[in-house]
C-alpha cells in the first residue's frame, strides 16, 4: 500500500485547521468540543503515518495515548459542560466568559 507520507501529513494539517476554525468560530460549546476532538484525531493520524513510514511502533503507542486522553477529556469536559449549562437557557460559550458560577 503506497500512500505517500506527505499527503497524509497534509491531510492531518487540513483536518487540524478545520478543527481550529470550528473551535474559534462556533459558539455552541458542544460543537466547539467536537471540533477539538477532530484536532486530536488529526494529530493521531499524523503519528500513525510517521509510525508506518519509519517502521517504529512508538508512533502507534502515542496514538493510543491520544485516544485514551481523548476519552478522559471527553468525560471531564462534558461533565463540566453539563454542570455549567444545565440551568442556563442558552448553549452559548459566552455565558461562562466570566469564569464565575
Distance between CA atoms of residues 38 and 35, nearest Å: 5
Residue 88 CB, nearest approach to other proteins (Å): 9
Residue 40 CB, nearest approach to other proteins (Å): 9
Residue 23: Cβ within 10 Å count:
17
Query: Does residue 85 contact residue 19 with C-beta atoms inside 8 Å?
Result: no
Residue 100 CB, nearest approach to other proteins (Å): 16
- Phi and psi at 45, nearest 5°, equal -60, -40
Amino acid at each position: 500500500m503506497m500512500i505517500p507520507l506527505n499527503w497524509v501529513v497534509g491531510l492531518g494539517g487540513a483536518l487540524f485547521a478545520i478543527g481550529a476554525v470550528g473551535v474559534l468560530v462556533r459558539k455552541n460549546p458542544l460543537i466547539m468540543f467536537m471540533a477539538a476532538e477532530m484536532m486530536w484525531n488529526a494529530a493521531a493520524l499524523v503519528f500513525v503515518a510517521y509510525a508506518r513510514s519509519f517502521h517504529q511502533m512508538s508512533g502507534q503507542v502515542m496514538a493510543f495515548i491520544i485516544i485514551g486522553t481523548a476519552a478522559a477529556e471527553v468525560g471531564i469536559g462534558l461533565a463540566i459542560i453539563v454542570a455549567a449549562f444545565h440551568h442556563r437557557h442558552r448553549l452559548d460559550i459566552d455565558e461562562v466568559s466570566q469564569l464565575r458560577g
